[in-house]
Structure 1
Amino acid sequence: MNVSASPLMARAEQAFAAGKNDQAAALVAQHLRQRPGDPRGLSLLGSVAAATGALFQAELFFRKALMAAPPNRELRLSLARVLNQQDKLPEALAMFEPLRDGADSSTEVIVSLILDKLGRHDEARAILAAAVERHPERPNVWLTYAHHLRSAGETEAAIDAYRRAIAITPDLGDAWWGLASIKKKVFSPADIEAMEAAVAMAVDVNNSAPLHFALGRAFQAEQQHEQAFRHYEEANAIWARSLDYDSGQLTREVDESRQLFTADFLKRSEGAGDPSDAPIFIVSLPRSGSTLLEQMLGSHPDIEPLGELPHIPSLLRIMMEGATRAGIRSVPEAIAKLSPQDRTGMGQEYLRRVAAHRKTDRPYFVDKMPHNWSNALLLRQILPNARIIDIRRDAMTCCWSNFSHSFSRAHASSFTLEGIGRAYVDYVRLMDHLDDVLPGWIKHVPYDRMIDEPEPVLRGLFEGLGIPFDEAVLRFHEAKRTVRTPSAEQVRRPLNREGVGTWKPYEQWLGPLKDALGPHAH
């Protein structure tokens, strides 16, 4: 029987194309019982697993298919993409590199992004500079190049690259938002007219949402606050309509964490995890000053700043794949049931992945992924000697800054005023619980006081961290480094209060936020 003519495989592929993943998997399994090791069947199982978010399983199927198949570019690309989605960056890079031929700009862009994440910025720059020369007609290449230039502090060159992308695709929302998010007034009246025309013609939510955010920022710069708010409101509503976000899930997870992780439980579970004291985690809600604090810490001669590392969330996803197969349904339960061997192994795997980012032999490094606040108990279990810093901004400013910023779908809590308010409350509830059961473990930094009195705040922080203070942390804005966050411009300037109280002109529309925050709103 010719495998390529297998009716089971034909039906499986049709089911997968129709989005019927369970049916496709069942048909492939039936086919593989007849043809064990068939690379076409294994590859389709990998695609089904990837489509359902089971990335580790997808990786295993694609690897088996590659071992059984002749050299196959598409199969290698599938494995490379899954490795990249799992943030297995060196492995993904090794898989993508042989596939680069200069003609495929999307592969060039992905390789440059991986190199940037690994801190190999010069190599990323060279790839992107060559790509815009070869493909000046492709807006995605100009857009990626613009993001890279902005991260490197080359603001004027970034503005030019964003405008090159817009000239090719006038409704390219991410390019307009790239301009809007630069901390200077970059829009002319003609730009606003062009954005209004673009948002009227945009049919893809991936363009229309960031276009509305950019218009919000443009009208905000003109002090036209009602128009600004309406655009922010519509931008978030577009994202919210495209998702099925349950703000109660985070509340339930915090409730369960508070019940499971008592002082007695944490005492009994001591003794496992990797003992390294090198990691310093900065946790917070987004838009709370974490980039600024990292820039300060990274100016210390003993601390290497590594930016927002994706590895704790990635390890959490892998953990939950296995937990779900074992019938465990919640993140807190999965963390509580980790064996000592699992905890040590996860800590070691995190440090192995971080090693690919490190460029110095400084004894400490900073991972400033904000959302790790919700992973703090996982951090405690797998890296018990890590240092944790919670930087906290006042609730109204923090939540408004989230609502008025164009995030990806990963920040779904920010798409409604009630949602971001509830997330802030849950964040504080978890931090308060950890202070109760692990007194002194988390070091708290109030953003406003850090801005007003940086030296006493930082001296106190370093004393709490057990690391000698160094005056260089007060000259943070002199540091030359790539900053891959929305605060790239801010951290290259001396301290200022530009971001304080930004919600006040919008107060009359923020009732749902105040209601969700309750006493935190004051």
Structure 2
Amino acid sequence: MAGAGATIKQVLDAAEQAATAGDVARAVALYRQVLTKAPKHSKAKKALARLEKQGGTVGRAMTQADANVLVQVLNSGDFANAQRVARDMSAAFPNEPFVYNILGYASGMVGDQKAAIEAFKWAIKLNPNFVEAMSNYGSYLVQIERPNDAVPVLQKAIAKKPDYAEAHHNLGVAYFAMGQSDAALQHYDLALKYAPNYANALNSRGSLKTSRHDRVGAEADFRAALAIAPKDAGALANLAGVFAADGKSAEAVELLEQALVIDSKNTETLLQLAIIYNESGQSTQAIGVFERVLAIEPAHAQALRMMLDLVPLGDRGPLISQMETLFQAEQTAQIDKVHLGFALGHHFEKTGDYGKSYACLETANRLYRQDMPPLPETDDKKFARITKAFETDAFAALRDAADPTEVPVFILGMMRSGTSLVEQIIATHSDVFGAGELNAVTEMGKTLYDKGAKATAADGQGFTTAYLAELTRNAKGAARVVDKMPGNFFNVGLIKTLFPNAKIINTVRDPRDNCFSIYKNFFDTYAHQYAYDQVELARFANSYKQMMNRWDELFPDQIYHVSYEALVADQEGESRKLLDYLGLEWQDSVLEFHKTKRAVRTASVNQVRQKIYRSSVKSWQNYAPYLQDLYEGLDKKLWADAFVD
């Protein structure tokens, strides 16, 4: 059938075949389609004139009944059939942009990318003011990971119809995909200004707020979306994500089960449910849900990676065989090879096959790193910018806004340095609440960092009020509340300026073990780009150590440094020191930290549910032949006090 994706020759051939078969109406429609694309096409003009002389003007205009048939087929959800019907109608009514708009949508839904793009373009060419087609086309470009191309299309739609809510929403989605969250938020807000009951826009805005760690705002948007569309499975899952981040696992599970009643085969929702079960220490339930994912999609690499760690070593045979086959297959998607490589690397480490383990890890790291987009600011520039700000005393005015509270406890350091272990120990104490990894200091501090010396006491007051509200909103009056965000080592200067009585615990680990532990783990974010390259890892580790040394000079005796190796060697002795530093009385329960029933949302989720073990100390030595770039990049003098021989 000659549709939007057909060439002029193909349409011309189809027209000639129709004329030969005596289907004059169809032949006329097809010749008109050729002339719409190529108005001066002499062969088509002559053929059309000949048919019209023969009475071929029987072609009729499209009616509302025709349009209703097409819309009904589309709304049935049978997009393959909708594409077929739209193609037929595009042949019968070649000058109807409405038909091509639906053809574009249906083609996109069945994965026919070329036909979708050509149909949308043709709809817009036939009617340059067809803002709905522009909005749909822009949305589709975002879906196929071309947000940069989507933006001008959507901007054009809005220029023609400034109050078109859907185009604003789709433009917000495009900007969000490009990492421009401020622009995205602006257009989500405009979409809701023009259509206050636009559930999709509320859902999208809530997702943006979630990415900014504004869980209060996100929850409000998701609840508003569900008030409008109670059976929106996506909004239910998104709200569940907010609850899970707040440690409300039972509430999150309930919402996800509701979403699965609506859409039982949604693998993303199932994966989310499995992760929450795992974070809550319910490994049996987690495995069961991972198996549901794999029953729907047997090659789901992320599910395979996450489930493998929960399966006993002796029961992994069939699973490992499947994963190796997928890992080696040329047709396996690159991101899937990343998930599989990290999982297999961990597995072969446990079996003692370190060469095979490293080969898998190296492939996973290389594949993941090579396609990462550049960061808005390099790590080197970030270290330099923040260090300079406090060395020049740029934030002197903020001291007038300092809050004397002793509630906040910041656990920070390199990732994989033992921050989760320290938090789990401390949070087991009855007077402590573990708030988990909050990005609040970084997010809320952006304005202060941007203003620099122009930041006022009022700015500082706004920060302390907002941060304490976020930190303590689920703490139920706990005397100490832990913010375990490793990356807060960047923010020590800001923390000590605005919360001079806050406790700061820096976890330190042999950088060889620490960096290799980072290298062999998958982090679902592009923020830690240094993690996937040995040279970059060493440089980042050196910069971290230099920064912590500088904080010690600027804030002497105000940071407690705990050695990971000392903690695992003498759990009770080091735990007593930690509680003493926090001004808390000793409780024997902290020695049973692994039994604490609280959600853990880090890469260490499975480790902190075990008793302390020492096998991770000097584990880098098993891979020494493969870690020369890392070892040579570490500043031996700088790290002299942390090396464990």
Q: Into which bin does the TM-score normalised by the smaller protein fall? A: 0.7 to 0.9
**How do 1:96-135 and structure 2 match up within 5 A?**
96-100=222-226, 104-132=232-260, 135=263
In the TM superposition, residue 445 of structure 1 has moved relative to its aligned partner by: 0.6
Aligned in 2, Cα 1:202/1:503: closer, same or farther, shift over 3 Å?
Answer: farther
Q: What's the counterpart of residue 507 of structure 2? A: 391
2:217 aligned to which of 66, 91, 98 = 91
Report Cα offsets for 1:487-517 as digits up to 9, x if no partner. Answer: 2232233222132222111110101101221
CA contact (8 A) 2:158 2:168 kept: no
CA distance in 2, matches of 1:336, 1:457: 40
Aligned in 2, Cα 1:8/1:434: closer, same or farther, shift over 3 Å?
Answer: farther
User: Once structures 1 and 2 are overlaid, which stretch shifts more, 429-438 or 217-226?
Assistant: 217-226
Q: What is the letter of the counterpart of residue 276 of structure 2?
A: H
Report Cα offsets for 1:236-295 as digits up to 9, x if no partner. Answer: 111111114579922233233333312865667522244432111110111111111111
TM-score, scaled to structure 2: 0.71
1:174 aligned to which of 292, 302, 306 = 302
Q: What is the letter of the counterpart of residue 199 of structure 2?
A: R
1:493 aligns with 2:610: yes
Q: What is the letter of the counterpart of residue 265 of structure 2?
A: E
Aligned in 2, Cα 1:514/1:295: closer, same or farther, shift over 3 Å?
Answer: same
1:302 aligns with 2:431: yes
CA distance in 1, matches of 2:589, 2:339: 38
Aligned in 2, Cα 1:11/1:334: closer, same or farther, shift over 3 Å?
Answer: farther
**How do 1:29-108 and structure 2 match up within 5 A?**
39=165, 42-43=168-169, 46-47=172-173, 49-69=175-195, 71-100=197-226, 104-108=232-236
CA distance in 1, matches of 2:497, 2:346: 41
2:491 aligned to which of 371, 375, 383 = 375
Q: What is the letter of the counterpart of residue 444 of structure 1?
A: H
Q: What's the counterpart of residue 162 of structure 1? A: 290
CA contact (8 A) 2:411 2:485 kept: yes
Aligned in 2, Cα 1:68/1:347: closer, same or farther, shift over 3 Å?
Answer: same
1:433 aligned to which of 550, 567, 574 = 550
Aligned in 2, Cα 1:289/1:156: closer, same or farther, shift over 3 Å?
Answer: same
Q: What is the letter of the counterpart of residue 249 of structure 2?
A: H
Q: What's the counterpart of residue 328 of structure 1? A: none
CA distance in 2, matches of 1:29, 1:275: 50
Q: What is the letter of the counterpart of residue 170 of structure 1?
A: P
Q: What is the letter of the counterpart of residue 547 of structure 2?
A: L
2:355 aligned to which of 222, 226, 231 = 226
In the TM superposition, residue 435 of structure 1 has moved relative to its aligned partner by: 0.1
Q: Decide which structure has the larger Cα Rg and report it.
A: 2
How much identity, in percent, do the aligned residues show?
24
Q: What's the counterpart of residue 454 of structure 1? A: 571
CA distance in 2, matches of 1:40, 1:380: 45
1:209 aligns with 2:338: yes
Q: What is the letter of the counterpart of residue 507 of structure 2?
A: I
Q: What is the letter of the counterpart of residue 55 of structure 1?
A: S
1:185 aligns with 2:313: yes
Q: What's the counterpart of residue 118 of structure 2? A: none
CA distance in 2, matches of 1:120, 1:298: 16
User: Once structures 1 and 2 are overlaid, which stretch shifts more, 467-476 or 189-198?
Assistant: 467-476
CA distance in 2, matches of 1:153, 1:254: 36
CA distance in 2, matches of 1:186, 1:92: 43
1:363 aligns with 2:479: yes
SS in 1 for 2:197: coil
CA distance in 2, matches of 1:54, 1:381: 30
CA distance in 2, matches of 1:141, 1:119: 18
CA contact (8 A) 2:515 2:538 kept: yes
SS in 2 for 1:208: helix
Aligned in 2, Cα 1:513/1:216: closer, same or farther, shift over 3 Å?
Answer: same
In the TM superposition, residue 366 of structure 1 has moved relative to its aligned partner by: 0.4
CA distance in 1, matches of 2:583, 2:321: 54
CA contact (8 A) 1:281 1:386 kept: yes
CA contact (8 A) 2:568 2:612 kept: yes
> Structure 1 segments of 4 or more deviating over 6 A?
none
1:145 aligns with 2:298: no
In the TM superposition, residue 48 of structure 1 has moved relative to its aligned partner by: 5.1
1:257 aligns with 2:375: no
- Provide the aligned length of Structure 1 versus Structure 2: 503
